């Protein structure tokens, strides 16, 4: 048979058509898709024995209990610890990625020394060189030697004060948010110091929030929201922006940015005039007190804050002096605290409403706590209160602070030739401005003690180390010992050579005091007095337990929180009921705009935007891709303002404050008040999305940066 050319073409054509209808092409497609998905550079998850461990999240003062899933001892997942007291299984987005922080791309692996001038260039150095240079600077400086303790309440605070107590002109500095939280300010309103105060959330049935980040970093956000949903807690929130807290509040009352004080004063006046003041409230000169509030009429409050009389009356009517109402300010963890005058005005409401002794209780002091070591010898001060140019050497420990410190404010406090040393696991934020960077242990690589929020009952958890920290990590206590040796300073009271030892000492002190209760998830609470030994306490805390102090019973019953005039005896000299001059606050109007800056920049971001050390790469990714919490390169502006200012969202705009400018794009957002720019804080680091930090637009002489005069021009 002769095969023609036509036959050949038919055979080939038929074969091609037949192949199309056969499984072969599909098999090839499938196999090729499989073959092209297996490459040596794609990581394969390691296997190992699965286990679950309880620990604590050290990233912020909420100090939430966490349940850690481990594979072969390596943490692979973190979730909230169910049944944990004051938390109810809640964990924020930052905490959900805490186990990734040991591999943060900006992790510091060796001591670094700054080289060159302005640009942040560093070179590796030895710890001996670092100790030598820091000791020399301490020896030679004419200024104050200070340590910035970002997270007061840790045992490290005691070690810091002990070290500083060996030298004159020293102090411990703390971020403004730590000392201008609600309860520390309320404490200052008393003639006789009632000791540390705490909000007893189990008692509170109504919260009046003044831009308080109740669901974004204040105390126990999970507890607050769950109590709200159970109908056991009402929340009235006065706030300019519809924040997440405002969104969830029973009533959000929008106010003009920066006018919390005016609202608080107006509300106080209304309570006084309507007689809804607690009988327990006393004041040396009540007439003068009332007179101070008299100018804050509803009309004036409306003019200043934009809250009409009907709304203010509605809120005032809902507040009864039952002692179960508490007013909270605080401010955003990233955006900074309220000014002291604002917070004080808010806290007066707690006095008027009789919160003392009920919703707010005094805490028993703990004797011999290593965390309080040398507190009588070394002063603790708000960073903003230190004279400009006075700090000769500053060792900054903001690693697990949960609070922001703007560089312009810190820079202003430094002496011209001052030395800044940063103790940090991550080269970001203030570390970028330091002369020396000392690597410390990131979260989940070493044990950390985790004290709770300054507004809540004193508590303590222990965060465990799951991953080896690495030889390069420096124990801050060891660094202080080396510095002490170089300077000839002998540390005294606690005499511990390492952080672990100091924590053991603290547990001994807690056990000795026998105060409070230890809660372990899934088990009955155990009174400290019933625990046999400090070692047992340690094992309970290592198992994810939480120690919480016992709150003193009704402080006002034992000792009047605010002395009434008739309480003063002849032997005691007459004194004002409050050391803080309320009259001056009442007379002071809220600040206006600065010439040339016709808008407000509101800085926020919550606890997740306080420091680079708190941001896992996966959290940065989620923010980058979701836009849920935009980075600092996005300015959220009210659509009406966008239209009136001709701000085209597709162009780049320069947001300026008197301190500087950063470039952003505009995103219309109707939850932002007209005339305002809302921007999230952005911890600076080497990552590509770090474009600029609105926090660094703060005024160097300012005491807060939550609201800055601003303008927008095309970039």
Q: Which position among 61, 65, 97, 439 is part of the footprint of other proteins (CB under 8 A)?
A: 97
**By CB under 8 A, how many residues form the interface with other proteins?**
76
Among candidates 436, 443, 403, 405, which has minimal Cα distance to 422? 436
Three-state DSSP at 711 gives strand
Three-state DSSP at 611 gives coil
Query: How far apart are the C-alpha atoms of 327 and 348, rounded to whole Å?
Result: 9
Residue closer to other proteins by CB (options 30, 523) is 30
Q: Are 635 and 679 in contact (CB under 8 A)?
A: yes
Site residues (CB under 8 A) for other proteins, limited to 238-267: 242, 244-245, 247-248, 254
Question: Looking at 96-104, 515-523, 573-581, 590-598, which segment touches other proteins (CB under 8 A)?
Answer: 96-104
Nearest distance in Å: CB 662, other proteins: 19
Query: How far apart are the C-alpha atoms of 103 and 467, rounded to whole Å?
Result: 10
Q: Binding to other proteins by residue 231, rule CB under 8 A?
A: no
Residue closer to other proteins by CB (options 583, 667) is 667
Site residues (CB under 8 A) for other proteins, limited to 197-216: 215-216
Nearest distance in Å: CB 46, other proteins: 6
Three-state DSSP at 90 gives coil
Specify which residues 708 forms β-bridges with.
Answer: 601
Site residues (CB under 8 A) for other proteins, limited to 545-564: none
Nearest distance in Å: CB 40, other proteins: 11
Residue closer to other proteins by CB (options 412, 453) is 453
Rg for the chain, CA atoms, rounded:
29
Nearest distance in Å: CB 628, other proteins: 5
Q: Are 216 and 245 in contact (CB under 8 A)?
A: yes
Nearest distance in Å: CB 95, other proteins: 8
* DSSP track, 410-422: HHHHEEEEEEEEE
What is the b/e burial string over 85-111, where b = at least 16 CB atoms within 10 angstroms of the residue's CB?
A: bbbbbbbbbbbbbbbbbbebebbbebb
Nearest distance in Å: CB 133, other proteins: 30
Site residues (CB under 8 A) for other proteins, limited to 580-619: 616-619
Residue closer to other proteins by CB (options 553, 686) is 686
What size, in residues, is the chain? 715
Q: Which position among 401, 473, 672, 695 is part of the footprint of other proteins (CB under 8 A)?
A: 672
Q: Which position among 105, 121, 365, 387 is part of the footprint of other proteins (CB under 8 A)?
A: 105
Q: Binding to other proteins by residue 80, rule CB under 8 A?
A: yes
Nearest distance in Å: CB 422, other proteins: 21
Site residues (CB under 8 A) for other proteins, limited to 60-79: 71, 74-79
Site residues (CB under 8 A) for other proteins, limited to 409-468: 467
Beta strands, E only, 383-490: 391-397, 414-424, 436-439, 448-451, 459-463
Question: Looking at 100-108, 268-276, 420-428, 582-590, which segment touches other proteins (CB under 8 A)?
Answer: 100-108
Query: How far apart are the C-alpha atoms of 155 and 508, rounded to whole Å?
Result: 12
Among candidates 619, 649, 620, 645, which has minimal Cα distance to 636? 649
Residue closer to other proteins by CB (options 12, 618) is 618
Residue closer to other proteins by CB (options 227, 412) is 227
Nearest distance in Å: CB 345, other proteins: 23
Residue closer to other proteins by CB (options 370, 605) is 605
Q: How far is CA 491 from CA 139, 368, 374, 379, in A?
A: 17, 16, 10, 17
SS (H, E, C) 459-472: EEEEECCCCCCCCC
Three-state DSSP at 365 gives coil
Residue closer to other proteins by CB (options 78, 438) is 78
Site residues (CB under 8 A) for other proteins, limited to 612-671: 616-629, 638-640, 670-671
Site residues (CB under 8 A) for other proteins, limited to 28-57: 29-30, 33-34, 36-39, 41-48
Q: Are 172 and 381 in contact (CB under 8 A)?
A: yes
Tokens of 244: 């997440």
Nearest distance in Å: CB 92, other proteins: 6
Query: How far apart are the C-alpha atoms of 437 and 114, rounded to whole Å?
Result: 8
Nearest distance in Å: CB 499, other proteins: 23
Residue closer to other proteins by CB (options 406, 604) is 604
Residue closer to other proteins by CB (options 176, 258) is 258
Pairing of strands 65-71, 74-80: antiparallel
Residue closer to other proteins by CB (options 138, 212) is 212
Question: Could you tell me which residues come within 8 angstroms of residue 332 by beta carbon, excluding any fewer than 6 positions away?
Answer: 211, 213, 216, 217, 603, 604, 605, 606, 706
Site residues (CB under 8 A) for other proteins, limited to 676-695: 688-689
Query: How far apart are the C-alpha atoms of 520 and 696, rounded to whole Å?
Result: 41
Q: Binding to other proteins by residue 380, rule CB under 8 A?
A: no
Three-state DSSP at 138 gives helix
Among candidates 212, 203, 180, 232, which has minimal Cα distance to 555? 203
Residue closer to other proteins by CB (options 308, 583) is 308
Site residues (CB under 8 A) for other proteins, limited to 504-543: none
Residue closer to other proteins by CB (options 231, 688) is 688
Nearest distance in Å: CB 47, other proteins: 5
Pairing of strands 50-56, 144-149: unpaired
Tokens of 693: 């930090």
Nearest distance in Å: CB 480, other proteins: 29
Site residues (CB under 8 A) for other proteins, limited to 130-189: none
Residue closer to other proteins by CB (options 44, 310) is 44
Query: How far apart are the C-alpha atoms of 542 and 538, rounded to whole Å?
Result: 6
């Amino acid at each position: 048979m002769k095969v023609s050319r036509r036959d050949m073409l038919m055979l080939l054509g038929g074969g091609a058509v037949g192949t199309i209808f056969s499984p072969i092409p599909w098999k090839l497609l499938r196999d090729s898709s499989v073959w092209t998905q297996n490459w040596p550079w794609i990581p394969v998850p390691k296997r190992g024995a699965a286990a679950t461990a309880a620990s604590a999240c050290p990233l912020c003062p909420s100090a939430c209990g966490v349940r850690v899933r481990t594979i072969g001892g390596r943490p692979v997942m973190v979730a909230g610890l169910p049944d944990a007291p004051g938390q109810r299984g809640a964990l924020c987005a930052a905490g959900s990625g805490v186990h990734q922080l040991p591999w943060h791309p900006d992790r510091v692996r060796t001591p670094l020394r700054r080289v060159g001038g302005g640009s942040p260039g560093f070179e590796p150095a030895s710890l001996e060189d670092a100790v030598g240079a820091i000791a020399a600077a301490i020896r030679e400086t004419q200024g104050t030697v200070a340590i910035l303790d970002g997270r007061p309440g840790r045992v490290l605070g005691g070690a810091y004060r002990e070290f500083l107590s060996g030298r004159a002109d020293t102090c411990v500095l703390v971020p403004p948010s730590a000392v201008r939280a609600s309860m520390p300010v309320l404490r200052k309103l008393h003639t006789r110091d009632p000791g540390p105060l705490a909000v007893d959330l189990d008692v509170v049935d109504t919260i009046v929030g003044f831009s308080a980040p109740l669901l974004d970093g204040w105390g126990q956000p999970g507890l607050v929201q769950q109590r709200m949903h159970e109908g056991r807690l009402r929340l009235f929130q006065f706030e300019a922006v519809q924040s997440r807290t405002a969104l969830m509040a029973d009533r959000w009352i929008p106010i003009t940015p920066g006018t919390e004080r005016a609202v608080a004063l107006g509300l106080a006046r209304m309570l006084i005039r309507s007689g809804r003041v607690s009988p327990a409230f006393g004041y040396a000169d009540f007439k003068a007190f009332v007179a101070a509030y008299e100018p804050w009429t509803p009309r004036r409050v409306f003019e200043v804050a934009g809250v009409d009389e009907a709304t203010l009356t509605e809120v005032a009517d809902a507040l009864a002096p039952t002692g179960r109402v508490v007013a909270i300010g605080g401010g955003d963890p990233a955006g900074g605290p309220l000014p002291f005058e604002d917070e004080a005005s808010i806290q007066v409401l707690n006095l008027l409403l009789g919160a003392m002794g009920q919703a707010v209780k005094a805490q028993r002091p703990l004797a011999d706590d290593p965390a309080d070591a040398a507190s009588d010898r070394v002063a603790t001060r708000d960073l903003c209160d230190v004279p400009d140019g006075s700090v000769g050497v500053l060792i900054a420990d903001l690693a697990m602070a949960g609070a922001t410190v703007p560089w312009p404010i810190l820079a202003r406090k430094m002496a011209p030739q001052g030395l800044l040393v940063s103790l940090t696991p991550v080269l970001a934020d203030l570390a970028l401005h330091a002369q020396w960077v000392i690597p410390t242990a990131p979260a989940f690589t070493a044990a950390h003690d985790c004290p709770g929020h300054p507004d809540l009952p004193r508590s303590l958890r222990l965060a465990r180390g799951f991953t080896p920290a690495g030889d390069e990590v420096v124990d801050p206590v060891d660094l202080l010992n080396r510095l002490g040796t170089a300077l000839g300073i002998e540390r005294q009271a606690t005499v511990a050579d390492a952080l672990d030892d100091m924590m053991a000492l603290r547990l001994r002190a807690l056990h000795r005091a026998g105060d409070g209760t230890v809660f372990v998830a899934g088990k009955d609470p155990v009174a400290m007095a019933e625990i046999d030994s400090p070692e047992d306490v340690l094992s309970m805390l290592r198992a994810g337990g939480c120690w919480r102090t016992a709150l003193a019973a009704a402080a006002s019953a034992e000792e009047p929180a605010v002395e009434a005039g008739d309480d003063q005896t002849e032997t005691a000299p007459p004194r004002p009921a409050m050391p803080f001059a309320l009259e001056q606050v009442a007379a002071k109007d809220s600040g206006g705009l600065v010439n040339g800056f016709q808008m407000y920049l509101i800085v926020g971001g919550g606890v997740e935007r306080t420091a680079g050390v708190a941001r896992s790469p996966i959290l940065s990714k989620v923010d980058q891709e979701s836009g849920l919490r935009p980075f600092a390169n996005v300015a959220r502006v009210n659509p009406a303002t966008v239209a009136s200012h001709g701000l085209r969202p597709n162009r780049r705009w320069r947001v300026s404050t008197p301190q500087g400018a950063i470039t952003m794009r505009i995103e219309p957002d109707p939850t932002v008040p007209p005339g305002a720019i809302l921007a999230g804080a952005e911890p600076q680091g080497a990552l590509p999305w770090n474009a600029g930090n609105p926090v660094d637009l703060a005024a160097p002489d300012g005491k807060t940066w939550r609201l800055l005069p601003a303008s927008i021009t095309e970039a």
